[in-house]
Chains A and B, each alone.
Chain A
């Protein structure tokens, strides 16, 4: 069975600082990996996705993620965080029937 672990429940960074959110997955085949963002009271918005090819993928809002098969990781990064990035971030892996298995999420707080 597939699974996703987000080790950090809550991260606090200062505005303008760099950000890295960790994600580790378990899946038997080549994974399809996703990062979603959820603002308070809102639905989920896709930030980026990895299917194959280049292991560094670019997403919206200046985010990027790197797929490392050897470490079973798909960490999300942003060079300079903005106050509007405060939200909850979810990593997910897709199964063969397209269903998503999500991590438990990382809550990001941005200090002014």
Chain B
């Protein structure tokens, strides 16, 4: 199916474990983004990527790592999960012409115990 997908949709992990959240888009959009959503904070940008092999930090990057070897994929890795990283994570994509509109995936609910 076309669009932007995230996997897994739900994940429970333990403190200290590494976990990777996947994001895949079929539009060949240049830009991709990772946000986390926490009550009272809205969505905050973790990392973004303007193209394959180009990534940059957002507002809250600490504890996260990203890579983008292919245009369509933008995985987010928590190298050593902490309870403060319990959140809902959204991936988004945007093309590089005109609209600046971002298209959001369905989200991954991550719980760190």
Contact = CB atoms under 8 A, between A and B. Distances in A.
B50 A97 contact: yes
A33 to B, nearest CB: 10
A90 interface: yes
Interface in B58-76: 58-59
Contacts of B102: 46, 98, 100
A104 interface: yes
Contacts, number: 57
A98 B31 contact: yes
Given A42-B106, A43-B90, A99 B101 contact: no
- Interface residues of B, dominant DSSP: strand
Interface stretch (B14-22, B35-43, B78-86): B35-43
A103 B50 CA distance: 23
B59 to A, nearest CB: 8
Interface residues of B, number: 25
Interface string A67-80: 00000000000000
B91 to A, nearest CB: 9
Task: In the A-B complex, list the 8 residue pairs whose CB atoms are closest, starting with the nearest.
Answer: A102-B42, A43-B104, A44-B104, A104-B42, A102-B43, A43-B106, A94-B100, A32-B100
Given A6-B42, A44-B92, A98-B48, 14 more contacts: A42-B107, A43-B104, A43-B105, A49-B101, A97-B48, A98-B31, A98-B50, A98-B100, A99-B33, A99-B58, A100-B102, A101-B59, A102-B44, A105-B42
